[in-house]
Amino acid sequence: MKTQNSSSNHALVLGASMGGLLAARILSEHFAQVTIIERDPVTSAPESRKGQPQTRHLHGLLASGLNTLTHYFPDLPQALEANGAIVQDFAETMHWHTYGGFRKPFHMGLRAALMSRPLLESLVRERTLARTNITLRDNTAVKGLVPNPERTKVIGVEVERRGASTTNETITADLVVDATGRGSRTPQWLTELGYTAPQESEVKVNVGYATRLYRRDPNDPLGRSWLLSTPEAPKESRFGAIFPIEGDRWILSTGGWAGDHAPTDEESFNAFVRSLPNTDIYRIVSYSEPISEIVSHKFPANLRRHYEKLARFPLGYLVLGDAISSFNPTYGQGMSSAILQAAELDKILSDDSTAPERLAHTFFVAAAKVVDIPWQLSVGEDFRFPQTTGPKPAGVDLINRYIAAVHRATQTDTVVGEAFLKVMNLLEPPTSLMTPRLMWRVWKANRPARTGARIPAPA
């Protein structure tokens, strides 16, 4: 469905966050003009917008996400480092406590970037808007879709331009991509056009966390390490992470599942951090100067919209990123999932054999395959807690028992550790953890003589 070099076609992207920015960058190679519509005012500075409360908290960019971004923006890793982000080996610098011990660090050759979400987004936005056929219209709210008379195709959107005076207008386009996030209004818009809204899967987790910034001494022995504490569920429910980011700062996010949320008053917040099994997180907090208020965020449920199952969908319209699926943010999968979905769109648009009437279905099937793995990982982990409710995958309790053994094995076996980190970074499927060779290593690391654990030998 190549449309590159056409002199008349126009693509619209709704939403200027990570998924929307990369979608616009990709569409700029297939459409003569691309316009990004963003509800909030946007500046060139790295800052959180009103509609992005979660960007004030710790974010992780998985290796798969960084690799894909680097493909489209080759100088991005250098730009991140030039702006104070830390780009280094992911496995070598981890200080990760889980299941009663620390995962064993090792050299993996897998780069990770530690930075604030606003810095990453500002650098991606700068590079996206540097392309001459991409325009950003901020402070502009989308009020609804504009269909053709037969309601078989979306031909644009109605927008409301905000400012000194409010004005409404219609923007026409050959393709509209909804990247507005979890709060996407596409299900409502579809029903208004006479279509069926997608089925939804919701897994309720009641996660809540709080975040604070601290001044960081670059000479601190741990000053370039990322420290993490994840629970041995269900007997533990709290997590905490402190990452070094640009501006010689630490960013700390801590909280828990099933209502075990971090408080926001200083004394109780510090006590919550002190309760984490990874005591080095509190040690850093105890001697570091706080430089921000404590801000909280609540995440009620994983949400997935099954657009791939719809029998009818209007031409000229797509949905991408968190608007398709939003995951428990404690696993750091959201940005990378959106990035990988956008890359799938690039492949489809580059394929001459994809007919326009098949674009939506082809993309939604490809996006569903991207979403399947992070959904399986996050929902599977969340169901370790008995308070989690929603559609529970078959066999998840048995799988979780084995994955618990994998977690313990990573404390002594770097082969298992590497396999686990590849899955976590969406570089390999979860089934890669279940090869006979790896299962043998997991069983060996969990032998009762060493740990007292009762792990069945692999078949």
Residue located via tokens 């370790």? 384
What is the DSSP-derived secondary structure letter of residue 43?
-
Residues of the chain with CATH 3.30.9.90: 85-115+204-299
Please, where in the chain does CATH 3.50.50.60 lie?
Answer: 10-54+63-76+119-200+300-378
Task: Quote the tokens at residue 368.
Answer: 């569903």
Coil, strand or helix: which one is 236? coil
Cβ proximity of 216 and 223 under 8 Å:
yes
pLDDT digits 0-9 by tens, 70-126: 999 999 999 999 999 999 999 999 999 999 999 999 999 988 899 999 999 999 999
- List the alpha helices (DSSP H) in 73-220: 76-82, 117-129, 186-192
SS3 282: helix
Q: What's the confidence (pLDDT) of residue 163?
A: 74
Nearest by Cα to 318 from 27, 8, 17? 27
Q: What tokens appear for 140 in the block? A: 């502009």
Please tell me the predicted confidence (pLDDT) of residue 329: 92
The strand pair at 295-306 and 325-326 is best described as antiparallel
- The token pair that represents 185 in the structure block: 């209004």
Structure token digits, residue 326 = 């939003």
Say if residues 42 and 49 touch (Cβ distance below 8 Å): yes
* CATH entry, 85-115+204-299, from 3.40.718.10, 3.40.190.10, 3.20.20.60, 3.30.9.90: 3.30.9.90
Fold of 10-54+63-76+119-200+300-378: FAD/NAD(P)-binding domain (3.50.50)
Query: In this structure, which amino acid lies at residue 148?
Result: N
Q: What is the pLDDT of residue 449?
A: 54
Q: Is 391 helix (H, G, I), strand (E, B) or coil?
A: coil
Per the listing, tokens 């929603």 go with 390
Instruction: Determine the pLDDT at residue 379.
Output: 95
Query: Shortest CA distance to 305 belongs to which of 205, 188, 198?
Result: 198
* Contact criterion met (CB below 8 Å) for 375 and 336: no
Instruction: Please say whether the dihedral angle defined by the alpha carbons of residues 344, 430, 209 and 115, taken in this order, is positive or negative.
Output: negative
Using CA atoms, how far apart are residues 360 and 381, in angstroms rounded to an integer?
Answer: 31
Instruction: Judge contact between 327 and 334, C-beta under 8 A.
Output: yes
Q: Which residues pair with 153 in a beta bridge?
A: 315
* 157, 146 contact by CB (below 8 A): yes
DSSP-assigned beta bridge partners for residue 230: 98
pTM, whole model, 2 decimals? 0.92
* Tokens at 349, concatenated: 């648009």
Give the chain's residues under pLDDT 50.
2-8, 450-459
